[in-house]
Amino acid sequence: MAEDLLAELALLPRISRPAAWGLALWLGVAFAPAGLAQSARDFGGYPGYAGPRYQGYTTKALYVSAQDGTRLAIDVHLPKGLPEDTRIPTVMQMTRYWRAVSLRWPASLFDRDEFVNFFTSNGYAVVQMDVRGTGASFGSWPISYTPQEAHDAGRDVVQWIVEQPWSNGRVGAQGISYRGNAAASLPIANHPAVKAVVPRFIEFDEYVDLPFPGGIVNSGFISLWNQSNWALDTNDTRKVIALKGEGLIAKLMLRGVKPVDADRDGSLLRAAIAEHADNGHLLALAHSVTYRDDVPEGFDITVDTISLHTYREATERSGAAYYLWGSWLDAGTANAVLRHFFTYGNPQRAVIGAWSHGARADADPFRPVDAPLWPSKGDQMLDCLRFLDHYLKDVDNGVMSEKLLHYYTAGEGRWKTTAVWPPEGTTMRRYYLAADYGLSEAPPSESEGSDEYAVDWSATSGTTNRWYTQLDGSDVVYDRRAEQIPKLLSYRSEPLARDTEITGHAVANLLVSSTHADGAFYVYLDAEAPDGRIVYLTDGQLRALHRKVSPERPPYRIWEPYHSFERADGAPLVPGEVTELSFGLQPTSALVPKGWRLRVSIAGHDADNFARIPAEGDPVITVERNLVYASYLEIPVVERGGV
């Protein structure tokens, strides 16, 4: 949801560099920072790729009116030197993080957008847009991804584009996070010009994929995201800079959001910002929602109204092609890819890697923290270009010969391809919680056996995890797992007899009782090296109130127990009564070496990330592990040859 608010705010690479870089700009030293002038020429090629045709681009900033008259700010970038009789396709980017910034001289002399430069050099128009109620656009932004927002872009702005003399009548979109979700929403309006989109690192279900995983408020992320949004929506550059940790150079260079060209005195921008006063306060809004079907006060929508999965019929009717990107280590983006890919009938291609948010850093937990990004940013851009070239330029490059998912297995360092999920050869292997904090493939044989756990409110997965990377695209590093283990209820297996590939959705099945009527249950799956080093693999969580497994058909394809998270299915715990909690962990693909152990840990809180449940009191949880009440984790294991 929240893109890298350094890069996506256009504060990187333009101003968020070392002080020497900024000082050089301020002094007017004539050089362009590495990366700003990159084009496909630097990235190699692919079959049918003709190479970049243009150098440089021109930009016009203007307002386009939505159907209801709301003025939407856009930047239109065209290849410099485009012949008047040449018609080209358009790539759109819609954002709530400022489509562009205004920089003071001389920094403005070096203001070039790498994304824009790449696509215009390859014969595309690029249209960047401040969504309604943000940036220089008028209106209000009550919450993300409203149907109105989708129609502003997919109907009104697309129609304006195809009426321009440089347009070939074909439109696509590409973006990361918020821009990615906006790209995925573009076909919903069913404008015939929209042919292909590249949504990267998105949510498919706006309840479980990021704001409420397992029905628990992701308060750490939402609080920081809300602060950033308000700084942007009020054009408070000092607060934006402070939130990003920038210094004096940034303060000297950054003016704020870019106005349109005709707004020479800034009056239109001030009027637009005044209308942003009605924008939503997301943290308070999140805490007012418990169930998926709750309608917050002052709203007439639910979380499903702003979720992509709600618009399956319109999406499929559009016929638009999708190229989806996600990561095993980035919030719920891998789940978003899998659910979209295996639910919708549109032409689709998908990739899931082991990256930070936006694939800005390698996050394979078995590789060194500073391991190089693979594939590189340039190779990623070229791959997206290949997809869009096929649909917007009719380039026969074989990109869509089959509907395939490409995924990376951490620890093995291999990319693989599948048309089914889980991949062929996968079986579910049970590991039971056992005496002496063991993890056994043999079921319990004793009629009694349980472990008590007093919730440790200091337990945390840290602030460099799968949830925090959503804020800034920073690396995902679970480097303090060993010191957290004493704060958790933790079980480990015997050393593995062979290399073990875990690919798919693990499922926790816990038989528990609690002293309280509600609680949060977190389950972590880690790998433990012979030297005691602990490597994070995945985790999942469930608020006990949402424990009912629904017999209804899910709205999209899933591979774990289905919880509706609807009010009708809410069920408080009965203190002291044994209850079954069955829920999925985030999907993963990782190879755990022979001789390592698996470790399953249970917690009742994640201090740096999620809301405390219950808000008061100190629950004591009893986890059963006996013949009558057997708790276990089912792990998807891909059978491999050899020992």
Residue 565's identity, in one-letter code, is: F
Residue 132, pLDDT > 80, answer yes
Q: Return the biggest CA–CA distance within the chain.
A: 83
Burial-class residue 27 by CB neighbours within 10 Å (0-12, 13-18, 19+): exposed
Phi, psi of 574 (to 5 degrees): -100, 110
CB 290 within 8 A of CB 572: no
Q: How many CB atoms lie within 10 A of CB 267?
A: 10
Note the pLDDT tens digit of each residue in 393-410.
Answer: 999 888 887 889 999 999
Task: Please report which confidence band the pLDDT of residue 246 belongs to, taking 50, 70 and 90 as the band edges.
Answer: low
Whether 314 and 458 share a structural domain:
no
Report cis status (omega within 30 of 0) of the bond before 211.
Answer: no
Q: Which residues of 439-455 are buried (b: 16+ CB within 10 A; e: fewer)?
A: bbeeebeeeebbbebeb
CB 153 within 8 A of CB 62: no
Rounded-to-10 torsion of CA 331, 216, 559, 423: 20
User: Among residues 205, 330, 362, 518, which one is catalytic?
Assistant: 330
Report cis status (omega within 30 of 0) of the bond before 593.
Answer: no
Residues 6+ apart with CB under 8 A from 302: 292, 293, 294, 295
61 domain residue, yes or no: yes
Report the half-sphere exposure of 593 (CA within 13 A, side-chain side).
12
- The string of DSSP codes covering 286-300 is HHT--STT---TT-S
* DSSP label of 259: P
Average pLDDT, stretch 173-183? Answer: 98
12 domain residue, yes or no: no
- The three-state secondary structure class of 550 is coil
Domain boundary among 373, 391, 418: 418
Residue 25, pLDDT > 50, answer no
Nearest to 33 by CA among 52, 18, 44: 18
Number of domains observed in the structure of the chain: 2
Phi, psi of 377 (to 5 degrees): -60, -40
What is the domain range of residue 532? 426-638
Q: Which two tokens stand for residue 210?
A: 């990021």
User: Among residues 121, 167, 177, 514, which one is catalytic?
Assistant: 177
Whether 396 and 506 share a structural domain:
no
Residue with tokens 């009027």: 271
Residues 6+ apart with CB under 8 A from 478: 365, 461, 462, 464, 465, 535, 536
Whether 380 and 452 share a structural domain:
no
Residue 288, pLDDT > 70, answer yes
- Kindly provide the residue ranges of all beta strands, DSSP E only, lying in 213-307, ordered along the sequence: 254-257
What pLDDT was estimated at residue 642? 52
Whether 372 and 453 share a structural domain:
no
User: Among residues 191, 276, 357, 505, which one is catalytic?
Assistant: 357
Q: Which two tokens stand for residue 621?
A: 């949880």
CB 301 within 8 A of CB 310: no
The percentage of the chain sitting over the pLDDT mark of 90, rounded to a whole number, equals 85
d(CA 22, CA 39): 23
Note the pLDDT tens digit of each residue in 472-494.
Answer: 899 999 999 999 999 999 999 99
Residue 12, pLDDT > 60, answer no
Whether 380 and 464 share a structural domain:
no
455 domain residue, yes or no: yes
Note the pLDDT tens digit of each residue in 419-437.
Answer: 999 999 999 999 999 999 9
What pLDDT was estimated at residue 117? 96
* DSSP label of 618: -
What pLDDT was estimated at residue 159? 98
Phi, psi of 254 (to 5 degrees): -85, 125
First and final C-alpha spacing in the chain? 42
Average pLDDT, stretch 236-253? Answer: 75
Q: What share of the chain is helix, strand, coil (3-state, %, to 5)?
A: 25, 25, 50
265 domain residue, yes or no: yes
Whether 375 and 473 share a structural domain:
no
What is the helix (H) or strand (E) element at residue 130, kind and residue range? strand 125-130
Q: How far, in Å, are 244, 245, 352, 532 from residue 238 at the CA level?
A: 10, 10, 37, 45
Q: Is 357 labeled as catalytic in the residue annotation?
A: yes
Average pLDDT, stretch 69-94? Answer: 98
d(CA 19, CA 480): 31
Q: Which two tokens stand for residue 51?
A: 């190479």
CATH number, domain at 117? 3.40.50.1820
Burial-class residue 493 by CB neighbours within 10 Å (0-12, 13-18, 19+): buried
CATH number, domain at 614? 2.60.120.260
Task: Please report which confidence band the pLDDT of residue 35 belongs to, taking 50, 70 and 90 as the band edges.
Answer: very low
What pLDDT was estimated at residue 96? 97
9 domain residue, yes or no: no
Pairing of strands 125-130, 71-79: antiparallel
Residue 167's identity, in one-letter code, is: S
Pairing of strands 194-200, 167-176: parallel
Note the pLDDT tens digit of each residue in 135-169.
Answer: 999 999 999 999 999 999 999 999 999 999 999 99
Domain boundary among 370, 401, 418: 418
Q: How many CB atoms lie within 10 A of CB 554?
A: 15
Residues 6+ apart with CB under 8 A from 489: 451, 453, 601, 602, 603, 621, 623
Average pLDDT, stretch 496-522? Answer: 98
Whether 488 and 365 share a structural domain:
no
Residues 6+ apart with CB under 8 A from 502: 525, 537, 588, 589, 590, 591, 592, 635, 636, 637, 638
The CA angle 627-560-207, to the nearest 5 degrees, is 125
d(CA 119, CA 434): 57
Residue 11, pLDDT > 60, answer no
Average pLDDT, stretch 48-75? Answer: 94
Whether 198 and 173 share a structural domain:
yes
Whether 462 and 552 share a structural domain:
yes
6 domain residue, yes or no: no
Residue 3, pLDDT > 60, answer no
Lowest-pLDDT choice from 87-96, 128-137, 373-382:
373-382
590 domain residue, yes or no: yes
Nearest to 323 by CA among 479, 175, 451: 175
Note the pLDDT tens digit of each residue in 332-341.
Answer: 999 999 999 9
Whether 396 and 437 share a structural domain:
no
Lowest-pLDDT choice from 205-219, 374-388, 567-581, 629-643:
629-643
Whether 155 and 289 share a structural domain:
yes
Residue 498's identity, in one-letter code, is: R
The pTM assigned to this predicted structure is: 0.93
536 domain residue, yes or no: yes
What pLDDT was estimated at residue 249? 65
Q: How far, in Å, are 26, 62, 185, 418 from residue 162 at the CA level?
A: 40, 16, 18, 37
Burial-class residue 55 by CB neighbours within 10 Å (0-12, 13-18, 19+): middle
**In whole angstroms, what separates CA 348 from the centre of its chain?**
18
What pLDDT was estimated at residue 639? 84
Whether 327 and 458 share a structural domain:
no
Domain boundary among 356, 384, 418: 418
Residue 640, pLDDT > 90, answer no
